Structure 1
Amino acid sequence: MSFGERTGGRLAPRLLGRPVPLPLVAWLALVWVTLWGDLTIGNVLGGLVAGLVVAWSLPLPVLDPGIRIRPVALVRFLLWFGWDLVLSTVRVVVWVVRPGVPPTQIIRVRLRTSSESMTVMIMIALSTVPGSLVVEKDEEELVLHILGIPGDATEAVRADVAGLESRIVAAFGPRRDREELP
């Protein structure tokens, strides 16, 4: 085992010519001990050996999902998202207890970001909020199912999604993604 190679920004010793990321080995050992349910020297050593074997025999590619966390923008996003969850829940509950059929709409929204990781985060946020669901992603457009907004809500929903997109990119996007938004 020789040390000194940096893999993915982490020190990784080489074992028989392959780098073995130590954080992954430690994580696998922790999972091993947790699964056995007993913290003993034997379980820890067994977990380390199992982790080494798995990390060496099944090497993972180094991936950069393109996510950078900015704390102030993250707090802004979380506060806005929490408030949106509350308002949307109230809106959906009102339509559930009311007699009759609640208003629903299918709306196409064009995203401004081309980043896959930012698009996935936007889709998750939209699908988490009660009353909205991402039905389809088509090129750089999302098709949304919206529940509980009377009348034509197309422009309001597009403005809300643009605001959500801006907040997510500001909180998590790297510089090139932030520069992409007007």
Structure 2
Amino acid sequence: MIRERIHLVPLATLTLVWVMLWGNLSWANVLGGMALGSLVLLAFPLPRLVTGVRVRPWPLVVLVAQFTVHLVRASVQVAWQAVTRGRSTSGVLVSVQLRCANEFLQTLTAEMVALVPGTVVIDLDTSERTLLVHALDVHDAGGAEDVRRTILAQETRVLNALAEDPSCGQEVRA
């Protein structure tokens, strides 16, 4: 019963917070933090979190590297648009049908898209697996399709790095 309620990671986190609050790393603070953390976890048990995530190290490295490249490239483009005069910018709403039904992975994909400058996530409908994004500096349907492909490629990298089944039970899109 107690082993089901007290998990190592939350206990270690609560202990670390306790030691940081005291500002002194000592055996008394660590043991006191563990005792208090155990009491908190017994009084307020955490539900079992099932995320459907399986971390794959190399695809995770690829995900972080590609995300960093997109982040830097988009930051430079948006900064350039901000400092140049006379050029008007336009945007478009792009609706993207995501492949995976896992809400955690959908949210992670949406957050990574939202963090890239020039894109704003307007809505994520998890039941319909639809992501609605406003993209900056898109002038035609071809540009909107490029945004859609970029988002789907981002989702594919997220699924390859973190999904239990990267294909989500479907054929992989090209």
TM-score normalised over the length of structure 2: 0.86
Aligned counterpart for 1:150 among listed residues 122, 135, 139: 139
Unpaired runs of 5+ residues, structure 2, are none
The answer on whether the counterparts of 2:5 and 2:46 sit within 8 Å (CA) in structure 1 is: no
**Residues 58, 159 of structure 1: alpha-carbon distance in 2 compared, 3 angstrom cutoff:** same
Aligned counterpart for 1:40 among listed residues 7, 26, 37: 26
For the pair 1:107 / 2:94, whether they are aligned, the reply is: yes
The answer on whether the counterparts of 1:133 and 1:145 sit within 8 Å (CA) in structure 2 is: yes
Give the fraction of aligned pairs with identical amino acids, expressed as a percent: 32
For the pair 1:84 / 2:63, whether they are aligned, the reply is: no
The answer on whether the counterparts of 2:101 and 2:168 sit within 8 Å (CA) in structure 1 is: no
Amino acid at match of 1:140: R
Following superposition, the deviation at residue 132 of structure 1 comes to 0.5
For the pair 1:118 / 2:105, whether they are aligned, the reply is: yes
Following superposition, the deviation at residue 165 of structure 1 comes to 1.1
Following superposition, the deviation at residue 177 of structure 1 comes to 4.9
Task: Tell me the distance in 1 between the aligned counterparts of 2:166 and 2:64.
Answer: 22
The answer on whether the counterparts of 1:20 and 1:56 sit within 8 Å (CA) in structure 2 is: yes
Give the 3-state SS of the residue equivalent to 2:135 in structure 1: strand
**Residues 76, 176 of structure 1: alpha-carbon distance in 2 compared, 3 angstrom cutoff:** closer
Aligned counterpart for 1:141 among listed residues 106, 130, 135: 130
Give the 3-state SS of the residue equivalent to 1:180 in structure 2: coil
Moved more, 91-100 or 48-57: 91-100
Q: Number of aligned residue pairs: give it.
A: 168
The answer on whether the counterparts of 1:112 and 1:181 sit within 8 Å (CA) in structure 2 is: no
Task: Tell me the distance in 2 between the aligned counterparts of 1:78 and 1:25.
Answer: 29
Aligned counterpart for 2:47 among listed residues 49, 61, 73: 61
Deviations 1:128-164 (A, max 9, x none): 1010010111321111011123333221111111111
Unpaired runs of 5+ residues, structure 1, are 6-11
Following superposition, the deviation at residue 173 of structure 1 comes to 0.7
**Residues 60, 87 of structure 1: alpha-carbon distance in 2 compared, 3 angstrom cutoff:** same
Give the 3-state SS of the residue equivalent to 1:112 in structure 2: coil
Structure with larger RCO (C-alpha < 8 A, sep 6+): 2
TM-score normalised over the length of structure 1: 0.82
Moved more, 62-71 or 18-27: 18-27
The answer on whether the counterparts of 1:107 and 1:145 sit within 8 Å (CA) in structure 2 is: yes
Give the number of the structure whose alpha-carbon radius of gyration is greater.
Answer: 1
Task: Tell me the distance in 1 between the aligned counterparts of 2:158 and 2:82.
Answer: 30
Following superposition, the deviation at residue 33 of structure 1 comes to 1.0
**Residues 90, 151 of structure 1: alpha-carbon distance in 2 compared, 3 angstrom cutoff:** farther
RMSD: 2.0
